[in-house]
Chain A
Amino acid sequence: MKTTAELIADDPLWLSIIKVVAIFAFGVVMTLFMIWLERRVVGRMQHRPGPNRVGPFGLLQSLADGLKLAFKEDIRPVVADKWVYFLAPIISAIPAFLAFSVIPFGPDVTMFGHHTALQLVDLPVGVLVILACSSLGVYGIVLSGWASGSPYPLLGSLRSAAQVISYEIAMGLSIVGVILRSHSLSTSDIVNAQEGGWYFWLLPVSFVVYAISMVGETNRAPFDLPEAESELVGGFHTEYSSLKFALFFLAEYVNMVVVSALATTLFLGGWRAPWPLSAIDGGVLNTGWWPILWFVGKTFFFLFVFVWLRGTLPRLRYDQFMRLGWKVLVPVSLVWIVLIAASNALWNTPGVTTGQRLIFFGVGIVVLLVFALLLPDKRVADDEEFVPVTGSGYPLPPLDLSVPKSPPRRRLPAAPEPAEREMEPAAVAAADKETGDGSL
């Protein structure tokens, strides 16, 4: 039995090329499909049909939109830095696709008479490759905002980049938990290590931290502050049009698929069949081409959650968002890592009795409590009269105005009913306008 890496090393060049093209096509097709799915699902959630004109069920809508974008005028602001402005969309698109290379889509299969694995490359440092790719994607954001030479994109790009890097820490730390169990950075090894149990329930804290940070990392709702339309127009790509804009859009959706696929690989057993199915006929559904189905299915589960979140949750404020990242996710993962490492070490050391283990954990908990007490959060304002001054020197009125409680409703004989009903269509229309065509 050969390992995945050895199998892939035997691939002839033509097979590698086929895989490369397949992965690229997968990324593009998933993007087109996701845009359609997102608009349809959000539409359903808002009691409207969503795009349903182009093709069956409106499936070709995104393709039509993409083609339309290509035939739009390509505008470059005069103030822009020409080369960097051109480079930015390219830089943001390439790493998004590269991250796919280490994702295992399935186990070994026979493809055109050649025995190989459904994975482009199986590097011993696979997880680092994905993290490196996502940190390279930051360049596209930063450079596009700067090169546009106008204030909104610059602000948007700074916000966006600060957001991505903040949540990348949380994401990287949550993955350490997985590595502590799998003892390998290779993605195929991680999937193999989950044969006995998927990591989402073996490592619940890591899973939750990863799931939150993957939404933050891809700048998606409710963490889509970089493109907060009300504040920043469109965010870092405000000045981009035509196919350059399309590339940013493509990169965003491919990144979404990548983090979902990585979540599947790390926590949901990758291409493994879910439990009742995996028991059928001695695991026949875990061999051959079947696993692709499970893999894509699980990935779609995460993608659906992305859409679901967008349809459900309002956008966070920037300070709330940063607080969640730095003050909750990072310390929680650090403590969790030390906990797993400790339990690993204790259970692997011979001659340690259960009593000693319990004492050890007790000491650990006491240390944690002391540590937690050292972290006072609330800083009480020392003088109440203080009026905050903004950067421009204008004093700001205190924002702590307490809203009086709304008076209890009293049912009047007839009058209030129609007034309430009149409100509704307007509110619905406003909601439609806000989110309706936000996806393009």
Chain B
Amino acid sequence: MTGAELVFVPLGAVALGSSVLVVTTDQLVRAALWLVVALGALAGCFLLLAAELVAWVQVLIYVGAVVVLLLFGIMLTRAPIGRSVDLDSGNRVAALVVALGTAGTLVTVVVGGFRTASIDLGDGSAGSAGTVGAGLFRYWVLPFELLSVLLLAALVGAIVLSRRDIGPRARDGGED
């Protein structure tokens, strides 16, 4: 076992453990914080797999932006400090079944799809910005351009959902 593999196992355990805590804790903000830990550990895993760019993008986007959005949402509704008893839905068994089912499907698909594929991590240049950029912009052009359409849809959706008070028909149903 190499040093990287030795670190990978505890990192994976941290990611898994904190993910479980995200859904089991009964305090809203702490759930978000455990999510940060889980995503951070995942970034560490990416790093160990020599995907340096992806690892830092994970920190930048998921930890630095997505969870901040979640925290904003929590604060906008004034999450109470302390326990919220209504966080537990009572459908634990169903949730567990769905979660395990999803995990099983994903693992099967990934293992089945990439069983024989291998990447030579070598000097670590496989995940560098240059390699990723060349691959992305040369061979994955369509997904990349589709992504911009996705961003467009997301922006429009954000506006339509969050700000009914503005725009052309602003003042009939307007409450701030």
A–B touch (CB < 8 A): the answer is yes
Q: Is A30 an interface residue (CB 8 A)?
A: no
Interface string of A61-80 (1 = CB under 8 A from B): 00000000000000000011
Segment touching B, from A49-57, A130-138, A292-300, A407-415: A130-138
Q: How far is A138 from B75 in the complex, measured between Cα atoms in Å? A: 14
Q: Are B81 and A125 in contact (CB under 8 A)?
A: no
Q: Are B52 and A124 in contact (CB under 8 A)?
A: yes
Q: Are A161 and B72 in contact (CB under 8 A)?
A: yes
Q: Are A125 and B129 in contact (CB under 8 A)?
A: yes
Tell me whether A158 and B56 are in contact in the complex, defined as CB-CB below 8 angstroms, given that A84-B29, A185-B129 are known contacts: no
- Which residue from chain B places its CB closest to the CB of A124 in the assembled complex? B128
Tell me whether A135 and B75 are in contact in the complex, defined as CB-CB below 8 angstroms, given that A129-B56, A386-B171 are known contacts: no
Segment touching A, from B7-15, B58-66, B96-104: B58-66
**Chain B residues within 8 Å of A193, by CB:** none
- Which residue from chain A places its CB closest to the CB of B36 in the assembled complex? A139
**Chain B residues within 8 Å of A123, by CB:** 52
Q: Are A125 and B53 in contact (CB under 8 A)?
A: yes
Q: Is A146 an interface residue (CB 8 A)?
A: yes
Q: How far is A83 from B128 in the complex, measured between Cα atoms in Å? A: 38
Tell me whether A158 and B75 are in contact in the complex, defined as CB-CB below 8 angstroms, given that A81-B29, A138-B68, A139-B68 are known contacts: yes
Q: Is B30 an interface residue (CB 8 A)?
A: yes
Q: Are B52 and A142 in contact (CB under 8 A)?
A: no
Shortest beta-carbon distance, B71 to chain A, in Å? 5
Q: How far is A136 from B81 in the complex, measured between Cα atoms in Å? A: 22
Contact of A128 among B27, B33, B36, B60 (CB under 8 A): B60
**Chain B residues within 8 Å of A250, by CB:** none
Q: How far is A76 from B117 in the complex, measured between Cα atoms in Å? A: 55
Interface string of A412-432 (1 = CB under 8 A from B): 000000000000000000000
- Which residue from chain A places its CB closest to the CB of B74 in the assembled complex? A146
**Chain B residues within 8 Å of A128, by CB:** 53, 56-57, 60
Q: Are A147 and B81 in contact (CB under 8 A)?
A: yes
**Chain B residues within 8 Å of A184, by CB:** 129
Contact residues of A between 138 and 158, Cβ < 8 Å to B: 138-139, 142-143, 145-147, 149, 154, 157-158
Among B30, B60, B74, max chain A CB count under 10 A is at: B60
**Chain A residues within 8 Å of B82, by CB:** 81
Q: Is A398 an interface residue (CB 8 A)?
A: no
Determine the main DSSP class of B at the interface with A.
helix
Q: How far is A147 from B33 in the complex, measured between Cα atoms in Å? A: 13
Q: How far is A318 from B36 in the complex, measured between Cα atoms in Å? A: 29
Q: Is B176 an interface residue (CB 8 A)?
A: yes
Q: How far is A128 from B81 in the complex, measured between Cα atoms in Å? A: 34
Q: Are A391 and B68 in contact (CB under 8 A)?
A: no
**Chain A residues within 8 Å of B79, by CB:** 146
**Chain A residues within 8 Å of B29, by CB:** 81, 84, 143, 146-147
- Which residue from chain A places its CB closest to the CB of B174 in the assembled complex? A389
Among B53, B75, B128, B171, max chain A CB count under 10 A is at: B75
**Chain A residues within 8 Å of B176, by CB:** 390-391
Tell me whether A132 and B59 are in contact in the complex, defined as CB-CB below 8 angstroms, given that A124-B52, A139-B36, A386-B171 are known contacts: yes
Contact residues of A between 90 and 125, Cβ < 8 Å to B: 123-125
Q: Is A322 an interface residue (CB 8 A)?
A: no
Contact residues of B between 38 and 87, Cβ < 8 Å to A: 52-53, 56-57, 59-60, 63-65, 68, 71-72, 74-75, 79, 81-82
Q: How far is A391 from B165 in the complex, measured between Cα atoms in Å? A: 12
Q: How far is A123 from B55 in the complex, measured between Cα atoms in Å? A: 12
Q: Is A165 an interface residue (CB 8 A)?
A: yes
Shortest beta-carbon distance, A177 to chain B, in Å? 16
Q: Are A154 and B52 in contact (CB under 8 A)?
A: no
Shortest beta-carbon distance, A388 to chain B, in Å? 10
**Chain B residues within 8 Å of A83, by CB:** 30
Q: How far is A185 from B128 in the complex, measured between Cα atoms in Å? A: 10
**Chain B residues within 8 Å of A142, by CB:** 68, 71-72, 75
Q: How far is A132 from B71 in the complex, measured between Cα atoms in Å? A: 17
Q: How far is A300 from B70 in the complex, measured between Cα atoms in Å? A: 37
Tell me whether A125 and B71 are in contact in the complex, defined as CB-CB below 8 angstroms, given that A81-B82, A391-B176 are known contacts: no
Q: How far is A123 from B128 in the complex, measured between Cα atoms in Å? A: 10
Q: Are B63 and A136 in contact (CB under 8 A)?
A: yes
**Chain A residues within 8 Å of B129, by CB:** 124-125, 184-185
Shortest beta-carbon distance, B35 to chain A, in Å? 12
Shortest beta-carbon distance, A60 to chain B, in Å? 37
**Chain A residues within 8 Å of B72, by CB:** 142, 158, 161
- Which residue from chain B places its CB closest to the CB of A386 in the assembled complex? B171
Q: Are A84 and B33 in contact (CB under 8 A)?
A: yes
- Which residue from chain A places its CB closest to the CB of B69 in the assembled complex? A165
Interface string of A260-282 (1 = CB under 8 A from B): 00000000000000000000000
Shortest 5 CB-CB distances between A and B: which pairs? Answer: A135-B64, A128-B56, A132-B59, A81-B81, A132-B60
Interface residues, chain B, with chain A CB atoms under 8 Å away: 27, 29-30, 33, 36, 52-53, 56-57, 59-60, 63-65, 68, 71-72, 74-75, 79, 81-82, 128-129, 171, 176
Sample 8 A-B pairs with CB under 8 A, ordered by A number: A81-B82, A124-B128, A125-B52, A142-B75, A143-B29, A143-B71, A146-B75, A165-B65
Apart from A125-B56, A146-B29, A386-B171, 14 more pairs, CB < 8 Å:
A81-B27, A123-B52, A128-B53, A132-B60, A135-B63, A136-B64, A139-B71, A142-B68, A146-B74, A146-B79, A146-B81, A149-B81, A154-B75, A391-B176
Interface residues, chain A, with chain B CB atoms under 8 Å away: 79-81, 83-84, 87, 123-125, 128-129, 131-132, 135-136, 138-139, 142-143, 145-147, 149, 154, 157-158, 161, 165, 184-185, 386, 390-391
